[in-house]
Each structure stands twice: as C-alpha cells, then as structure tokens.
C-alpha cells in the first residue's frame, strides 16, 4: 500500500505491506507523490531498503 507517513513532517511517501503488523516495515519512496510518478516509467517502485533510492 502506498501511503504517507504522518509521523514525520513533512510526511514522506512510503510503501508498506498491508499484512505488516506495524509501520516499522515502511519503505521510503519519496518526499511527495509527484516525484516517483515523474520517474516511475524508468525506475518503478522501490521494493526494499537494499535498493538505492534514485529520487
């Protein structure tokens, strides 16, 4: 599930598994939704923390 992490200010966009027990597994995607949408055709989503963040 793509969502904002409102525990931080400003809230970053994160990817979280809907079956996760808590938000600790949230994977940072970008500072806002517009950034990954612009780069999505080339980069896709970041699926785990081992992948470099290209945003």
pLDDT in tens, 5-52: 898 898 998 888 888 787 778 888 888 888 877 877 887 766 766 655
Tokens of 25: 């597994």
Phi/psi-derived region of residue 6, left when phi > 0, alpha when psi is between -120 and 50, beta in every other case: alpha
Report pLDDT for 55. 42
pTM: 0.59
CB distance 14 to 3 below 8 Å: yes
Report pLDDT for 51. 52
* Cβ-based burial of 13 (10 A; exposed 0-12, middle 13-18, buried ≥19): buried
């Amino acid at each position: 599930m793509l969502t904002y992490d409102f525990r931080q200010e400003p809230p970053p966009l994160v990817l979280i598994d809907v079956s996760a027990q808590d938000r600790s597994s949230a994977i940072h995607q970008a500072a806002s939704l517009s950034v990954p949408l612009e780069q999505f055709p080339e980069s896709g989503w970041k699926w785990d923390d081992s992948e470099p963040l290209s945003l």
